[in-house]
Amino acid sequence: MPTMNPLPAAFARCLAALVLLLALAPFALPARADIEVITLRYRSAEQITPILQPLVEPGGAITGMQNQLVIRSSAGSIADLRRVLATLDSAPR
């Protein structure tokens, strides 16, 4: 009997972060909440999350693991966070 391949580890971690975000997030959502997963290139989620957390609008949430950030917020707030992230997640000089 053939065995099924387990999910790739990165996908499983991302899925776990998304489930955690949805399970632990407060129930008060922005008027229109979107969820976006952002792959980091030069920094870890553990480094970036504490910096971005104060910038997340009320009712939004941010979490992550390794090189994946999961953000739940309005589209405008996510766009603002992406602009800040572009500065923070840049190649070392």
CATH, domain range 27-88: 3.30.1370.120
Strand partners, 63: 70
Q: Are 81 and 57 in contact (CB under 8 A)?
A: no
> Is the pTM higher than 0.85?
no
CA distances from 77 to 9, 19, 60 (A): 29, 21, 9
pLDDT at 92: 80
* pLDDT tens, the chain, 93 aa long: 555 555 577 667 766 766 666 665 555 555 567 899 999 999 999 999 999 999 999 989 999 999 999 999 999 999 999 999 999 998 887
- Dist. CA 19–CA 71, nearest whole Å: 12
- Dist. CA 56–CA 81, nearest whole Å: 8
pLDDT at 91: 84
Give the domain ranges of the chain. 27-88
- What H or E segment, with its residue span, contains residue 84? helix 75-88
